[in-house]
């Protein structure tokens, strides 16, 4: 009986995760906290995806989201103005895009 329920549970979990419109990964942490990590082509979308996915987790628990910490990163962090300008020009010449230029990590808990 237990062997039959495991594949059903796996299919259910996969189908529920596919329903979410937020592109973020949730990682459980210590002391009932979680990290939501989202990557996108701009800072706003990365933040929206991290917050949206975190809200879904708390809503499933019938609790409210409490953000404890937020970290934003960009592939351009630390680049000189000349390097950023060269990347900008290169993006027009070679239209190769990455949808992961920005990363937001939220540390949160549900209360």
- How many Å apart are CA 107 and CA 39, to the nearest integer? 15
The number of domains in the chain is 1
Are 54 and 111 in contact by the 8 Å Cβ rule? The answer is: no
The whole-chain average pLDDT of the chain stands at 77
In this predicted model, what pLDDT tens digit does every residue of 43-53 receive, in sequence order?
Answer: 999 999 999 99
Report pTM. Answer: 0.65
In this predicted model, what pLDDT tens digit does every residue of 69-91 receive, in sequence order?
Answer: 999 998 766 555 665 565 555 55
Q: Which structural domain range is residue 71 located in?
A: 2-110
């Amino acid at each position: 009986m237990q062997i039959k329920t495991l594949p059903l549970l796996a299919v259910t979990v996969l189908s529920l995760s596919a329903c979410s419109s937020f592109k973020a990964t949730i990682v459980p942490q210590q002391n009932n906290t979680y990290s939501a990590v989202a990557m996108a082509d701009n800072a706003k979308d990365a933040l929206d995806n991290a917050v949206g996915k975190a809200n879904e987790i708390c809503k499933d628990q019938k609790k409210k989201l409490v953000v404890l910490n937020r970290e934003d990163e960009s592939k351009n962090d630390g680049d000189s103005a000349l390097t950023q300008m060269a990347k900008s020009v290169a993006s027009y010449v070679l239209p190769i895009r990455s949808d992961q230029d920005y990363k937001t990590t939220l540390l949160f808990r549900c209360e």
